[in-house]
Amino acid sequence: MQTNKAGEASGASPRIGVVGIPDGWSTRELLDAVERRTGFRHLIDMREVVVDFAAGRALSRGLDICELDAIIVKKIAKTYTPSAIDRLELLSYVESRGPRLFSKPERMIPLIDRVSGTVKLQRGRIPMPPTTVTEDREQALGALERYGAAVLKPLFSTKARGMRVLRRPSDPEERAALLETLTRFQAEEGPVLYLQKLLELPGRDLGVVFLGGEYLA
C-alpha cells in the first residue's frame, strides 16, 4: 500500500514504520498490529539505516523513511550504549523532514542516559534517593561513607545490568579493595561514577504510564 502526507489527509491509510529489533517478539507484535490497522508494514532496523544529509533522506531497506507519515520507536537498540543516543539524534533529523515520531527522540534520550534522566528529575523537583555523580574515586568513597550502602550504576543499562551494591568500608583493607573496584568499573564503563543510596524497598517495582499528561496506569 502506498500513500503520502496528502494521502493521509484525504483519508487513505497512513504509512507507519516501526523502529525495533528484527528478532524481538514485541517488535513483531507491534508490526502485526500496525499492519492490521493500515495494511502497511516496514521494520526500521537502525543498524541498516543510511542517512544522506545532502540528499535529505534516510534509507531503510530501500525506503526513504523521511517520506513516511509516522514512525513508532519500539526499541532503539538491544542494549543501551552511547550509540543509542546517536541513533535517536538521527531519528530527530528524520522527524524534522516530516514524519511524526512516537515518542519524540529528545524525550527518549533522558531515559537512556542515566545522568541526563537524573538531571531532568532533579530540575523537575521529583523525589529520588540521594545521588552522587563524580569521576573522582576518593569523592565516590566519601559519598559511600555518608550513605552507608549505595548502588553503583552504569550510565547506560537496563534491568539492573552491571549494577553493584557497595557498602561502607570498615578498615583500610576494605577501602583499598573498594578503590580497586571503582578503578575496574571506570575501565569497563567509563570515567563517570554514579552512586545512589541503597534504600529498603517493599519488594516491588511500579511502572507508571502517562499519555498526554494524563495518568493511565
- Half-sphere exposure of residue 158: CA atoms within 13 angstroms, side-chain side: 10
3-state secondary structure of 211: strand
Stretch 35-55: mean pLDDT, rounded?
Answer: 97
Q: Per the domain annotation, does 147 fall within a domain?
A: yes
For residues 167 and 148, state if they share a domain. yes
61-116 pLDDT per residue, tens? 999 999 999 999 999 998 888 899 999 999 999 999 999 999 899 999 888 999 99
106-143 pLDDT per residue, tens? 999 888 999 999 999 999 999 999 999 999 999 999 99
1-38 pLDDT per residue, tens? 334 454 445 568 999 999 999 999 999 999 999 999 99
CA distance 152 to 80: 17
If one counts the domains in the chain, the total is: 2
For residues 193 and 136, state if they share a domain. yes
First to last CA, the chain: 35
For residues 23 and 73, state if they share a domain. yes
204-217 pLDDT per residue, tens? 878 888 888 888 87
